[in-house]
Amino acid sequence: MGSRNIFIAIVAVVAIGTGAWLSALVMAPAPVPNTATVLPVPGDLAEFSLVDQDGSAIGRDVFRDHWSLVFFGFTHCPDICPLTLQVLANARQQLAEAGQQPLPRIVLVSVDPERDTPEVMKKYVGYFGDDIVGITGELDEMRKLTNGLGIFFEKSRLDGENYSVDHSAVVIVMNPDGQFQALFGAPHEAANFVHDLPIIMSSQ
Amino acid sequence: MRYSSLLVTALLLFSACSAEQAPLVASDVVVARPVSGMQMSAGYLTLSNNTANTITIDRVASPEFESVAMHESVLDNGISRMYPLDTVSIPAGKSVQFKPGGKHLMLMRPTGDVDSATLEFYAGDALLLTVDATMSD
């Protein structure tokens, strides 16, 4: 075999190998979320005027420049709300340990702004982590945010002066453009967030 | 070897039975410490009825809280709702779980900065069971 033939053979082997590699790359199915529903087109939010746990004015831009996990609840909720916040904090911790970058921020939006003043929200979210954002404010402005995300909430009487607030139990994923990107339906498990979030966050 | 295993099993069964002679037994008791500044907390436990009759709890009290209520969280078509429960019945020989996301005790307005709580379960005026719980973070 002459040197010319050897060269042709090497080129052929490299070409076949590259082709096989490329086809494997193209044919391999992209990982898909197990539980999250990803919106075909991310949704923009209408403007709103609320406050964070420090009492600082915020609008829809509060969701910009971060991936956010947004949960709706209230501080007088002893069962589901702490449970969900613990699941989200646990998922975030697992993602951090797995080296995920960037990490999503956890945001609690109050569906009971009447009792959840910024001071109350600050104590509450601080209990679950250092970098959890609490959002509260006037009810009318809150409706602008929740209606835009398809979130239902209404007061329900318990006994005497006590009331609870029935509310949508979804966790919404906002992308760094401040858009509604995906949602997780309840009941929530940390493993679902740990599996699906890196896929959602890398797809944008 | 086989006989010694059987003996151990028999001993375990015997000790388990003798530990559950009380008509109503609490296990897996968890009372969450109220979040800083909050006026409420949740209590969870399993109640086992060792009698041949249904036991119906219609009141729970605690000296460490001004008010205790039995509630149930329900996920209803994606909506999280919470209902008050007037009574909770434990069928003969069965257990009922109070657990996160389901039935729970709603403990309201702690009387002080407490590290433990005593839970008292009543049927009418009869105090059926007293459970001491350490607050967990």
Which residues in chain B are contacts of A74 at CB distance < 8 A?
Answer: none
pLDDT at B16 > cutoff 50: no
Q: Give, to the nearest 10 degrees, the angle between helix A80-97 and helix A118-128.
A: 50
Which residues in chain A are contacts of B41 at CB distance < 8 A?
Answer: 78
More confident residue, B137 or A191: A191
Assess contact for A192 and A94: CB atoms under 8 A: no
Mean pLDDT of B91-113: 94
The pLDDT tens digits for A127-157 are 888 889 999 999 999 999 999 999 999 999 8
Rounded to a whole number of angstroms, the distance from the CA of B22 to the nearest CA of chain A is 29
Report pLDDT for B84. Answer: 94
Least confident of A8-17, A138-147, B14-23, B121-130: B14-23
pLDDT at A86 > cutoff 60: yes
**SS3 sequence of chain B:** CHHHHHHHHHHHHHHHHHHCCCCEEEEEEEEECCCCCCCEEEEEEEEEECCCCCEEECEEECCCEEEEEEEEEEEECCEEEEEEECCEEECCCCEEEECCCCEEEEEEEECCCCCEEEEEEEECCEEEEEEEEEEEC
Report pLDDT for A200. Answer: 96
Assess contact for A65 and A176: CB atoms under 8 A: yes
CB contact under 8 A, B41 and A78: yes
Which residues in chain A are contacts of B81 at CB distance < 8 A?
Answer: 156, 164, 166
The pLDDT tens digits for A40-51 are 999 999 999 999
| ipTM field | 0.79
Report pLDDT for A108. Answer: 98
Residue in A79, A120, A123 closest to B73 by CB: A79
- Put simply, whether B79 touches A (Cβ < 8 Å) is yes
Short-list A30, A32, A34, A81, CA closest to A191: A34
Residue in A75, A162, A187 closest to B38 by CB: A75
Mean pLDDT of A166-183: 97
Rounded to a whole number of angstroms, the distance from the CA of B53 to the nearest CA of chain A is 30
CB contact under 8 A, B75 and A169: yes
Single pTM value for the model: 0.82
Which residues in chain B are contacts of A79 at CB distance < 8 A?
Answer: 42, 71, 73, 82, 100-101, 104, 106
pLDDT at B6 > cutoff 50: no
Tell me which residues of chain B, numbers 80 to 119, contact chain A at a CB-CB cutoff of 8 Å. 80-82, 84, 100-101, 104, 106-108
Assess contact for A146 and A74: CB atoms under 8 A: no
pLDDT-derived band at A29, boundaries 50, 70, 90: confident
The mean pLDDT value of chain A amounts to 90
pLDDT-derived band at A23, boundaries 50, 70, 90: low
Residue in A78, A127, A167 closest to B79 by CB: A167
Kindly report the number of other CB atoms within 10 A of residue B40's CB atom: 21
pLDDT-derived band at B4, boundaries 50, 70, 90: very low
Residues in chain A whose Cβ is within 8 Å of chain B: 75-80, 82-83, 120, 123-124, 126-127, 152, 156, 158-159, 162, 164, 166-170, 185-187
Report pLDDT for B101. Answer: 92
CB contact under 8 A, B78 and A75: no
Mean pLDDT of A187-194: 97
pLDDT at A95 > cutoff 60: yes
**Hey, what domains does chain B have and what are their CATH numbers?**
22-136 (2.60.40.1890)
Residue in A77, A152, A162 closest to B79 by CB: A152
